[in-house]
Structures are given as structure tokens and as C-alpha cells.
Amino acid sequence: MNDRRLDPDTILARLKHDEARARRGTLKIFFGANPGVGKTFAMLEEARARRADGKDVVVGVVETHGRRETESLIAGLEVLPRRVIDYRGVELQEFDLDAALLRAPAILLVDELAHTNATGSRHLKRWQDVEELLAAGISIYTTLNVQHLESLNDIVAQITGTLVRETVPDAVFDGADEVELADLTPDDLLQRMEQGKVYGAEQAGRAREGFFRKGNLIALRELALRRVAERVDAQMRGYRSEQGIQAIWPTGDRLLVCVGPNPSGGRLLRAAHRMATRLHCEWVALHVEMPGRGLSPADREVLVDNLRLAEELGALTVTRQGQETADEILAYAHEHNISRIIVGKPTHPRWRDLFGRGSLLDRLVRGSGDVDVYVMTGEIENTATRRRPSIRRSSPVAEYGYAAAVVAACTLISWLVFRHLTLTDVAMVYLLGSVVVASRCGRGPSLLATIVGIALFDFFFVPPSFTFAVSDLQFLSTFGVMLVIALVISGFTVRVREQGAFARERESRTAALYAMSRELGSADGLEALLEAAGRHIGDAFGSAAQILLPDSSGQVAPQADRPTAYPIDEKERSVAQWTFRQGQLAGLGTDTLPTASALYLPLQGAERVVGVLGIRPPDESRFQDPAQRQLLEAFAAQVALLLERSALTERSRLSQLEVEAERLRTALLSSLSHDLRTPLAGITGAATSLLQDGETMRPEFRHDLLQTVVEEAKRMNRLIGNLLDMIRVETQTLVVQREWQPLEEPVGVALIRMDDALQGRAVTVDLPADLPLVSIDGLLIEQVLINLLENAIKYTPAGSPLEIAARVGDGEIEVSLADRGPGLPPGEEGRIFEKFYRAPDPTPSAGIGLGLTICRGIVRAHGGRIWAENRSGGGAVFRFTLPMLGSPPALPPREVEASA
């Protein structure tokens, strides 16, 4: 039973999609079968109608082709000025994308979607301009002819005999919000041409001979109508699915098409695309890369073009590496539930299938199981490419030299020991030589070694010696067998070696990726992470790489105060900025801003683009190789992940701080409202009663009240002082102004200041006479001592003795204050230094629980530690250390005591 309700993920995805759409402008395409059917006309009429509705409509670019009717429609609409591009001395007028983005009208008219931009423009194609405008929230009206649709490109070429180079990906057409068909019957069109309404008279004549033959027009019209009908069909399905109506045809189909460096691969891909469209299913373009001989630059270019075309047609492109093309294709098909495989027809001679394990097609069909295999026009053998591992061998000349030397050595050895050996043994020596060569060199040198070896064997050893003549015909078969054995062995050896090299290369890539993620994972801080990422990626691709991060205003830039891997000028930066904003590849080797010196990849995190990776290869074509680019993308993804993680860590650290600050704020508020009000209440009470009854009051009462005012004011002053100190400690604004001084001085000040509070307690001070000078902030350490003394006074019985002592420890001075009070509550020794901590059973004189926290803050700012413990014999002891930083400055020489 099918559940017809949509699952939440689908709904969420749809909502996100709708949201993205809401921000995006809408695209309306005026679609026609061929020029002259009135697309531009219809577009302008619609624009005028919108304008009459009060919409902000602007003409970005409209080609009137000198048609008067069209020109009259433009009149009255705002037209953006064109950008003038100087192309090799010719002035070209182009659509000004930046001006359009700046003007940002509600609706912009951009004629001829399939137009190719002049060199030097941001994008290669106008449809890319349109994509950018849509993303910026501008709605677009545009026009398109059926022959410019990518997937129909080859069919149109078959019909008209003209190959159209300017194409638009089907995804753009299918993604349009509205498509309006401008239709005209071929007869009407031809009539319009007669009247000179389409082209000038002379041009019209030529056009009628070629493109505008009636047969062509009918065929193109049919294509256009069918394509629009398909779209309507798709809309219907979209509507049904949106309304929760399950698709009537729940096809689980997935298509796989095999791609190679074949110039006619485009046909195969378009056929696959059409099939996928009809089946309404996903499709995958698979390329199998084999270890072996390299791909020529021309072949590689074709392959890259094919893969790019596949992407434009909406395929998922995949490159796999493997030994056996058929096995890889089938493995992928099984792993990914492919239901149909499309391959090209084999075009090679049949005898080649007799060797090896049969033809690829044969093995594909035999191994396909329940997967359907379709064979279409297009060469199958080129489905796979052999790629030379990038680990370079020694130069060919050296290899041939090596081969020659081995053969010479074989001959020499055979010659020396010839009399003890049979001819068969000598043949073995040469065979060995062939294998030795194959184990070090390529196929060429191996072949050379084998053939020359046989020739030398014949010349020197086979009777009659020193001629190439052969006395006994049986030796001919020996030569044949030698040749075959040597070739087979060397073939295997070479292949094993290549596989090894290939595995090593893959291994080294994986290792590079792993090494990077490991180092980045342990990188301390963003700076280190960026530095390591740039370095690793640069090393792995032999290029200069760096990462650009956005600042607070969203402008990407390389990290300041750090040398750039390659210079970033304003132009490079703007390319990176584009990549960051659009989340797409740009720069060198891409369709967007290809004049940049480097390739820019978006670092796509889970939520958004977190930065841009810029990489400048030593040669332009490096990242044309899909495998290289995919690997680069893997690196970029890894970096993006780590950057995002680091940002998240930072965010969670900040929120942790936030929580801490919030806690402090709450505690401060409660302490302000309670602890500050208490003394204030005393002061107010005393002062008001003095005001009221001061005259009549008995002098001793009056004195008591005044005493209260003074004492409470002092207490309040202390509280405020503590709060201020606390804030300084907490906000890290505590500045330690170190000066070399005897510890005796702050101790003395603290004791004098606490003199009244101590109320005659016995305080023993034990400071060794040879205590060195310490580098401390006297005021702050004095504060520590005062707070510790206050604490002791609060929590120990009046009159109980206190002891202040100091001793030199290991690289530090330890100061202690010991008491004979009740000691610390067990387990609370660590907690007492926490903010707003008060003893479980506070005395009335207790403060707000900041004194010890301030002590800890000050001591830590001095680089020391503070702790408390219970004393043997009762009481507590508070200890803190002050590190001895460097050696005290020299003192003036001691003087002779020479008093009067």
C-alpha cells in the first residue's frame, strides 16, 4: 500500500526550494521554432503591458534586426546603454551585466538567450548572465529558438544541415517559470519574409535557399511544439506531486551512459538525455580511466568537452578508475541501481575481439544481468581512456640506451660461455635480457630489446655464424617462440609496473588528502588551519594555493599579515568574490571570468559557502582533467568542512562565554540589589533619624548613629571596590604593572590598612631577610593580601592569631597566610575561589563572595597559583605563588655606613 502523503524531508526540501525561488527572479522565455516568428515582438508587447501595469520594466538588450515594427515597440521603454568592448580593434557592443545588476529593475528584457558573449565579458554565455540576474532577484524576459536547445542540437543539425554552435542547456529551459510559444505557420512566415519583415530583401533570398526551406520550417515547428508539450507534461507531473498525488509511473529507472574521448560522443549523450527525459529519470555519465598509456592532449580535450556537455544536459558525471572497463561499468551499475546502460556501437575491426577476453560490448552484455544494455551510434572502445600515471619515468633516450646495453651484455655473456652452452641456453639468456628491460622500461625499449636480441642471437650464434642466414628452418620457429614469449612476458611486466605506479599515484593522492585532514584537524587556530590547507593543496597539485575568507562585510580577501601564495590584485579578488557569492567555480579554465590567473573553488559548507580556494597551476590545462578537478574538489570539501567546524567551535566557545557572562550579570544584579542596599539602608536610617530628632537626641545615641553612617559607608566603599576589581579581573582588563620591589612593602601596606579591622590580633610576619626582590604590581598584590586578611578576619574567631610567611621555592616565591580558625569545609577547598561563593554558614559581616575570586584573578595575572588547605593543628592556610621572572636588576654598590 502506497502512502500518498509526502514525507517530511520532501516537504522540507520543497519549502527550501520555494524559499530560494521566492528570492529569485522569475524567468520567462518566449520560445519559437525559428527566427522571424515574432518572439521579440511578443516579448516587447508583454513588457509594454507590464509597464502599463506600473511595473519597473527595463530593456537590457534587444536585437531589432532593423525591423520597424519591433523598433516602434521599444520606444518609450527605458533601455540600458550597451557596454563597448574593444576586441582586436573592432568595437563590439555587449549587454552590460553590471549596469543591469546595479539598476536592478523588476523586469529586465534580455533578448537571445543563446548568445555567446564577446571575449572579456564575465561569462562565456548570455544564459549565464541571466542566471546571475535571476539570482539577484531580477525577473527576466528572454527569447530562444528551438535549434539552440542543447539536447535538440544534433537533431536540428540533421534536419537543416547546419550545426548551431550557440546552445543553451536544457536545464535553463526546463527551469524557466514560464515558456510562451511564439508560433507562426511556415506559410505565414514565408509570406512575412517575402514582405521583407524578417530580413532585408537580399538576405531574405539567401535565407530561403538555406535555412528557411519550407521542409525545415515544418520540422522545426514540430520540434518546438513537441518540446513545449513535454514541458507542459512535466508541469502537470510537478503539480500532481505537489498536491501529494503519487506519480502514476513510479519508474525506478536510472540510466548510465559510457563516455570517452570520442568526438561523436555528443550524439550519444544527447540520445541518452532524450531517453532520460522521456523516462523522467536521473542519468549518469560514466568515464572509466585505465592505468596505461597516456591520453593525448587532443583526446583529453574531447573527453573534457564530452563530460562538460553531459553535465550541461543534466547528467551526474562520474570518473572511475579500474583495470577492466566492462567490470567497472557493471560494478557501478550494480552499486547504484542502474537499470539501463547506453553504450556506443563498436567500430573497430572484428578480429580485435578474438584477442583477449572478448569485446567490451560482449562482456558488458554478458555481465549485465537484469540491466538493459542499449547500443547507439558512437564508438564504444573509446569509452575508456588510458592514462599515463603522472609518476614520470626516465627519459625515452635513456631507456633505449639501457635496452641496448642489456642486449649487448647478453651477447657478451653468451659469447664468453658459448662453448659450454647449447643454443637453447643462449636463447634463454636473451629472453632474460628482454624481461630485465621490460622490468625497467616502457614497451618500446622492451620490443627493441626483444627484436635486436633475436637478430643478434641469429647473427652470432645460430649457424652459420656471423650471417643472418639460418641453416636449419627449425630456428625460425625458435625465433617465433622467443618473440612471442618475450612480448607476452614484457607485456605483463610493463602492465604490472604501470598498475603499481597507478596504485602508488592513487595512494599518494589519498595520502595527501589524509595528511591534510590530519594536520588540519589538529591545527591550532584558524591561521594555522588556513596556512596548512594552502600548503597541502599547493603541494598536492604542484600549484600555488591559498584560501580567501570573507570579512564581516562579506568581502573575501586573503589573510592579512601573511604572504600570499600568488599575488591577488583587484581583478583576482573580484573573481574570488563572484565565486563566493554564487557558490560556483570561476576563473582559469572555466566559463566564468576565464581570464583570471587562477581557478577559484567555493568552499561549500553544510549551510553556506564559507570561503574560496584559489589555486594557480603552473600550466593552464592542469585542472581540465576531470580526475584532477574532482580530486581538487575533494580537497576543497575537506577544507570547507574543517573551516566550518572551526567556525562552529568558535561559536560554541563564544556562547559558552555568553553563558558565563550571563551568570555573572545575574549574580552582580542580585549582589547590587542586596549587598549594596544593606549598608545604604543603615545610612539612610541613621541620617533620617538624625535629621528628625538630632536636636533632642542624647549625645551618645547621636554618636552611635553617626558611627553607623561612617561604618556602613566604608563597607559600601569596600563592596564597590571589590565589584570594580572583579570586573577588571573578569573582563581581562587587569593590567599588571610590574616593578621590582621587596615583598615587605605590600605586606606592610596591607597590615597598616587593615590595622583597625585586625583589632589587635597577633599577626606574625616571617619574611626571610634574604628574600629576593620580586617583579610584581605592588598595588595588586597588596589587594590580594588585604582580601586574604579580610577573609581571615571574617571567618576566624576575634583575637585568634594570624601568620604571614614567605619562602623561596623552585623558581617562585610562595606567600602564605595561616589562621587558627575553624578551617575549610571539607571538599570546598577549590570552590572557595569561585565567584559569589560564600561559606555555607555566612557570618553577618560576610561580603559578596568576590574577595577570593579577585585574589585568584590577580595571582593568575602574575603567572602564579593560589590555593587553600587545612592546617595540621587546626585552621586554614592560604598560599599563593609569584614566579620569579628573570633576575632582579642590579643594586647600587653597598655603601660604607658613615653616620655622623
Partner 1 sequence: MTEPIVVVLLIEDEAPMRRMLRAALDPGHWQLAEAATAREGLAQAASRNPDLILLDLGLPDGDGLDVTRRIREWSAVPIIVLSARGREADKVAALDAGADDYLTKPFGVDELLARMRVALRHSARIEGVAEPVFEVDGLRVDLAERRVTVRGTAVHLTPLEYKLLVALVRHAGKVLTHRALLREVWGPNAQNQTHYLRVYMTQLRHKLEADPARPRILLTEPGVGYRLQDS
Q: How far is the CB of 807 from partner 1 (least distance, A)?
A: 16
Q: How far is the CB of 518 from partner 1 (least distance, A)?
A: 49
The three cell numbers of residue 710 are 561612617
Three-class DSSP category at 794:
helix
Q: Which stretches of the chain bind partner 1, using CB under 8 A?
A: 710, 713, 717, 721, 724, 739-742, 744-749, 751-752, 755, 765, 767, 773, 778-779, 782, 888-889, 891-892, 895-900
Q: How far is the CB of 547 from partner 1 (least distance, A)?
A: 44
Q: For partner 1, give the closer residue by CB, 673 or 899.
A: 899
In the block, which residue shows the cell 526546463? 174
741 burial (CB, 10 Å; 0-12 / 13-18 / 19+) is middle
Q: How far is the CB of 779 from partner 1 (least distance, A)?
A: 5
Q: For partner 1, give the closer residue by CB, 361 or 806.
A: 806
- Using only C-alpha atoms, what is the Rg of the chain? 44
Q: For partner 1, give the closer residue by CB, 520 or 786.
A: 786
Distance, CA of 874 to CA of 870 (rounded, Å): 7
- Which amino acid type is present at position 583? G
Within 8 A by CB and 6+ apart from 668, the residues are: 723
Q: For partner 1, give the closer residue by CB, 379 or 782.
A: 782
In the block, which residue shows the cell 544536459? 313
The values of phi and psi at residue 143, to 5°, are: -125, 150
From the list 27, 17, 48, the residue with the least C-alpha distance to 126 is: 27
Q: For partner 1, give the closer residue by CB, 530 or 747.
A: 747
Residue 533 neighbours by CB distance under 10 Å: 28
**Within its chain, how far is the Cα of 134 from the centroid?**
24
Q: For partner 1, give the closer residue by CB, 557 or 805.
A: 805
Q: How far is the CB of 767 from partner 1 (least distance, A)?
A: 7
The three cell numbers of residue 505 are 599515484
Distance, CA of 618 to CA of 595 (rounded, Å): 15
Q: For partner 1, give the closer residue by CB, 811 or 892.
A: 892
Within 8 A by CB and 6+ apart from 284, the residues are: 254, 255, 256, 257, 315, 316, 317, 318, 332, 336, 338
The three cell numbers of residue 176 are 524557466
Q: How far is the CB of 878 from partner 1 (least distance, A)?
A: 18
Find out whether 275 and 253 touch, Cβ atoms under 8 Å.
no
Q: How far is the CB of 888 from partner 1 (least distance, A)?
A: 7
Q: For partner 1, give the closer residue by CB, 647 or 749.
A: 749
Q: How far is the CB of 892 from partner 1 (least distance, A)?
A: 6
What residues does 590 pair with on adjacent strands? Answer: none
Q: For partner 1, give the closer residue by CB, 303 or 750.
A: 750
Find out whether 131 and 172 touch, Cβ atoms under 8 Å.
yes
Dmax (CA) for the chain in angstroms is 154
Q: For partner 1, give the closer residue by CB, 459 or 740.
A: 740
**Within its chain, how far is the Cα of 220 from the centroid?**
44
Three-class DSSP category at 802:
strand
Q: How far is the CB of 787 from partner 1 (least distance, A)?
A: 14
Distance, CA of 558 to CA of 530 (rounded, Å): 10
Q: How far is the CB of 733 from partner 1 (least distance, A)?
A: 11
Within 8 A by CB and 6+ apart from 645, the residues are: none
Q: Is the peptide bond before 888 cis (omega within 30 degrees of 0)?
A: no
Distance, CA of 427 to CA of 433 (rounded, Å): 10
Q: For partner 1, give the closer residue by CB, 526 or 767.
A: 767
297 burial (CB, 10 Å; 0-12 / 13-18 / 19+) is exposed
Residue 569 neighbours by CB distance under 10 Å: 8
Q: For partner 1, give the closer residue by CB, 286 or 776.
A: 776
- Which amino acid type is present at position 619? D
Range 627-649 burial, b when 16+ CB lie within 10 A, else e: ebbebbbebbebbbbbbbebbee
Find out whether 302 and 265 touch, Cβ atoms under 8 Å.
yes
H-state helical runs in 210-258: 214-242
The three cell numbers of residue 602 are 567555493
Q: How far is the CB of 891 from partner 1 (least distance, A)?
A: 6
Q: For partner 1, give the closer residue by CB, 178 or 745.
A: 745
Residue 526 neighbours by CB distance under 10 Å: 16
The three cell numbers of residue 345 are 556501437
Q: For partner 1, give the closer residue by CB, 90 or 735.
A: 735
In the block, which residue shows the cell 583495470? 323
558 burial (CB, 10 Å; 0-12 / 13-18 / 19+) is buried
Find out whether 141 and 107 touch, Cβ atoms under 8 Å.
yes
Q: For partner 1, give the closer residue by CB, 8 or 892.
A: 892
In the block, which residue shows the cell 519583415? 197
Within 8 A by CB and 6+ apart from 654, the residues are: none
Q: For partner 1, give the closer residue by CB, 35 or 746.
A: 746
Q: For partner 1, give the closer residue by CB, 13 or 765.
A: 765
The three cell numbers of residue 108 are 529586465
Q: For partner 1, give the closer residue by CB, 111 or 730.
A: 730
